[in-house]
Amino acid sequence: MTSPLLEFRKVSKIYGKGEAEVRALDNVDLQIRQGEFVAVMGPSGSGKSTTMNILGCLDTPTKGKYLFSGLDVSDLTRNQRALLRRHYIGFVFQGFNLLKRTTALENTALPLVYRGTPSAERRERAMQALTLVGLADRWDHTSSELSGGQQQRVAIARALVSDPAVVFADEPTGNLDTSRSHEIMTLLTKLNADRGITICLVTHEEEIAAYAKRQVRFRDGRIASDTNGTSRGGK
């Protein structure tokens, strides 16, 4: 047994104080290993977004410990967590979140800018990432010139370009129609299978969650179920 890549130890997240106190997460234990493909599910307000924010080192737990590859993230400063994200984490968002007036290539290369990668190498690696998501021929299109599915593929290329240990995808298909959604999910599945990238996916759609090897369901700030359903939905 290898030690988990991501580990929650009795993590609670509490917003507000006293009467107005809201427990978004309540004593959650969770382990995610290198190479897993996990879908985090649950109705809104169940704590799945809070879980993703903490897993993605964007937020810290109020109580308990979050270990990233054995490192306690709870104690890190804002900037230290930013460095952790810079080097080990990729994000894919529901709203794509590409920069406006910026080409697909530049959007893809953005994480490398903050890593201080030289510009020639940035272009080369961004081009490789775009090739991986099948958009090499659109490298000089700006975000507004790309369709929703293409934008999300650029966002995936951006998440991959820095060779992260884990990619967090927050409702990546939320703004896409069914066939585009399946394209994106097929791509993520392939990346997980071929390159061994750990993927954490947040969704409320069963069909999308079915692409993952493991489904973690949240309800009222606790894990309601954790199944290793390898059943593949869709194609």
- Whichever of 117 and 192 has its CB closer to another protein, that residue is 117
Token look-up 């810079």 returns: 86
Q: Between residue 103 and residue 122, which ones bind another protein under the rule CB under 8 A?
A: 110-111, 113-116, 119
- Angstrom distance (rounded) from CA 152 to CA 39: 18
For another protein, the binding residues in 115-154 under the rule CB under 8 A are 115-116, 119
Region for 124 from its dihedrals, namely left if φ exceeds 0, alpha if ψ lies in -120 to 50, beta otherwise = alpha
To 5 degrees, how large is the angle CA 14–CA 54–CA 148? 120
Judge contact between 221 and 46, C-beta under 8 A. Answer: yes
Of 4, 9, 35, 58, which one interacts with another protein (CB under 8 A)? 58
Interface segment toward another protein; rule CB under 8 A; list 13-21, 30-38, 60-68, 96-104? 96-104
Q: Is the dihedral of CA 121, 125, 130, 131 positive or negative?
A: positive
Per-residue binding string, another protein, 35-54, x by CB under 8 A, is ------------------x-
Is residue 56 at the binding interface for another protein, with CB under 8 A as the rule?
yes
Contacting another protein within 189-228 (CB under 8 A) = none
Of 26, 64, 74, 93, the residue at the interface with another protein (CB under 8 A) is 93
Among 125, 158, 182, 213, binds another protein (CB under 8 A): 158
Supply the Cα-derived Rg of the chain in whole angstroms.
18
100 binds another protein (CB under 8 A): yes
Nearest by Cα to 158 from 105, 197, 218, 199: 105
Cβ proximity of 188 and 213 under 8 Å: no
User: Total number of residues binding another protein (CB under 8 A)?
Assistant: 28
Contact pattern for another protein over residues 62 through 91, marking x by CB under 8 A = ----------------xx--xx-xxx-xxx
d(CA 25, CA 51): 8
Query: Can you tell me which of 27, 62, 97, 175 binds another protein, judged by CB under 8 A?
Result: 97
* Least distance (Å) between residue 150 CB and another protein: 18
Q: Measured between alpha carbons, how far is residue 57 from residues 13, 46, 145, 206 in Å?
A: 13, 19, 32, 26
Write out the residues near another protein by the rule CB under 8 A: 53, 56, 58-59, 78-79, 82-83, 85-87, 89-91, 93, 97-101, 110-111, 113-116, 119, 158
